[in-house]
Amino acid sequence: MALSLLLKWRTLTTALPPWPRARSFRSDASLEAIVKASQDKLHTLVLYNYPSFSGAFSALFAHLFHSRLNLPSLILPFSSVEPLRVEDLCTEGLERLYLLDFFGPKGFAEQLSRRASVEVIGFDHRNSVIAKIPCEEDCPANLTFHLNVEKSSSMAVYEYFSAKLAETQHFDGMIKSLLEPKDRDRVEMILKYIEDIDLRQWNLPDTKAFSIGLNEWRSKFNCLTNPYMFEQLMEFDSTDLIAKGNSYVSTQENGAEKLLDKVFKVRLGRGFYGECLGVRVDINTNLVDEIGKKLSVRSAATGLRPIGAVIYMQRNNLKMCLRSTDSSVDTSEVAKAYGGGGSSSSSSFIIRMDEYNQWLL
């Protein structure tokens, strides 16, 4: 059963601690837009998680909803690394604020609802945010959290605004739809793929290729620097994105194959951790993952440990990346022994040149 939390609680009566200052995603364009919204007494502000697939599409659905009803709104990207401050968002005339695909740092949403005295509605799907949701007695009545760990934020936001629009009857008696019939199936398929990624299910065919094809758009999911973002999102097609992703994977694999002609034997930890195959890729560092996995398979086939060692220079340091396709192997034991880290299948560390030379004897 999905963990779905809809929390709407009474007004907070105790004072909240001051919000700490932090690095900010407070560009001149963002602040100017907020100032203008305050001057115009704009009623609705929408913040979406940037640069997230779910965040961008959630923003699209908020945009479509308000556009269909001719309701003015301000939509802005929100970065958890460089966030806008609570005081930036307490604008005159504001009545409703949406947090799409994020709740913000602990206490952020509560402070917004308390200081701005507006309705705050948040959407998220991550297990990690459960701890950020306050207990009932500490949550304002004008704050609503929509959390479903078995449904991506973009799907939840799509359903939310679709339902709200369906409740609104047009003057001619017709009920408006968030998406045009010609776009609905295509956009909903995009959402299914995003959900497959967000929930880390990877059940749909070609989800990895879809993710790779969509990934190049991540930096363009800023509606301030990319004023055509919503139009571009409406044109996305899962078939095209999958084809682009497959093309990229094919190019990477071909590039990796060319470098595998220059492999050599590596004595991990001077032989303490066994031996595997390695290769230097100083000018092809974008192929590290593909090369490492292929080396892992080849290394096992030659009777060595199923690990691929990919070595290259990084800012005047020699870096070694270890990859393995064998689930019984833990590459991180080597990396951690030399001050690095990672997972069992993927790890890395910096190694001194004199030490590295001892691994090649």
What average pLDDT does this structure show over 165-179?
A: 74
Q: What is the pLDDT of residue 171?
A: 55
Higher model confidence: residue 33 or residue 320? 320
Higher model confidence: residue 287 or residue 341? 341
Q: 241: pLDDT confidence band, cut at 50, 70 and 90?
A: very high
Are 154 and 271 members of one domain? no
The CATH number given to whatever domain includes residue 340 is 3.10.310.30
Q: Percentage of the chain surpassing pLDDT 70?
A: 90
Q: Which residues pair with 323 in a beta bridge?
A: 308, 346
Whether the ω angle into residue 51 lies within 30 degrees of 0, i.e. cis, is yes
Q: What is the pLDDT of residue 22?
A: 36
The CATH number given to whatever domain includes residue 106 is 3.90.1640
Q: 26: pLDDT confidence band, cut at 50, 70 and 90?
A: low
Are 243 and 265 members of one domain? no
Closest CA to 77 of 96, 49, 53: 49
Q: Please tell me the total number of residues recorded for the chain in this structure.
A: 361
pTM given for the model: 0.75
Domain that holds residue 296: 261-360
Q: What is the dihedral of CA 311, 314, 319, 322, to 10 degrees?
A: -60
- pLDDT(235) > 60: yes
Are 234 and 330 members of one domain? no
- pLDDT(181) > 80: yes
Q: Which two tokens stand for residue 98?
A: 């949406």
Are 168 and 192 members of one domain? yes
Place of tokens 């096992």: 300
Q: What is the pLDDT of residue 102?
A: 93
- Domain endpoint, select from 247, 281, 300: 247
- Domain endpoint, select from 222, 247, 272: 247
pLDDT tens per residue, range 3-24: 444 444 333 323 333 333 333 4
Distance between CA atoms of residues 219 and 174, nearest Å: 38
Q: Which two tokens stand for residue 107?
A: 């206490």
- The answer as to whether 74 is a domain residue is yes
Are 189 and 54 members of one domain? yes
Are 272 and 131 members of one domain? no
Q: Indicate the burial class of 105 (C-beta count within 10 angstroms; 0-12, 13-18, 19 or more).
A: middle
What's the number of domains the chain is made of? 2
Are 133 and 237 members of one domain? yes
Are 170 and 296 members of one domain? no
pLDDT tens per residue, range 80-102: 777 778 877 878 888 999 999 99
Higher model confidence: residue 107 or residue 345? 345
pLDDT tens per residue, range 194-212: 999 999 999 999 999 999 9
Are 128 and 225 members of one domain? yes
pLDDT tens per residue, range 217-228: 998 999 999 999
Are 129 and 268 members of one domain? no
Q: Which two tokens stand for residue 79?
A: 């970065």
Are 171 and 270 members of one domain? no
Are 299 and 215 members of one domain? no
